[in-house]
């Protein structure tokens, strides 16, 4: 398996030296990041868990459009809306 770039920590450095998590909807295509936490309606969370996307999962961001994005891990790809991605912190 080809090694990609190191996993994105999801933390942005602030001017005062602190760090803050960011939502998945803010991550650019090509990034590899680890999910720190996620929330949403139970059906969406169950769907994500069925595809092994949960806290601690390392995912790839393949495409980021105006209102949706394509994420994936291993051989699985999943299109999610930005409203779902906003509730996932990396």
User: Whole-model pTM?
Assistant: 0.76
Local structure of residue 58 (DSSP, 8 states) = E
Residue range 7-61, pLDDT digits in tens: 554 555 555 555 678 999 999 999 999 999 999 899 999 999 999 999 999 999 9
List the one residue out of 33, 25, 31 whose CA is nearest residue 66.
Answer: 25
- Residue 80 tokens, joined: 């999610």
Domain assignment present for residue 38? The answer is yes
**Residue 17 falls inside a structural domain:** yes
Return the pLDDT at 1: 44
Q: How far, in Å, CA of 39 to CA of 23, rounded?
A: 11
- The total of structural domains in the chain comes to 1
Q: Where are the beta strands (DSSP E) in 1-90?
A: 11-13, 19-21, 32-34, 37-38, 58-64, 68-73, 76-81, 88-89
Q: Tell me the three state secondary structure of residue 66.
A: coil
CATH of the domain at 70: 2.30.30.90
* 2 occurs within a structural domain: no
Domain that holds residue 48: 11-89
Tell whether 45 is covered by a domain.
Answer: yes
Residue 3 is assigned to a structural domain of this protein: no
Is there a domain that residue 1 lies in? Answer: no
């Amino acid at each position: 398996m080809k090694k990609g770039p190191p996993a994105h920590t999801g933390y942005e450095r602030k001017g005062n030296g602190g760090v803050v998590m960011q939502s998945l909807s803010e991550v650019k295509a090509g990034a590899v990041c680890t999910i720190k936490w996620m929330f949403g309606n139970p059906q969406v969370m169950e769907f994500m868990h069925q595809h092994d996307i949960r806290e601690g999962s390392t995912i790839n961001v393949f495409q980021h459009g105006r209102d949706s994005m394509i994420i994936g891990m291993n051989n699985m790809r999943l299109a999610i809306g930005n409203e779902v991605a906003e509730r996932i912190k990396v």
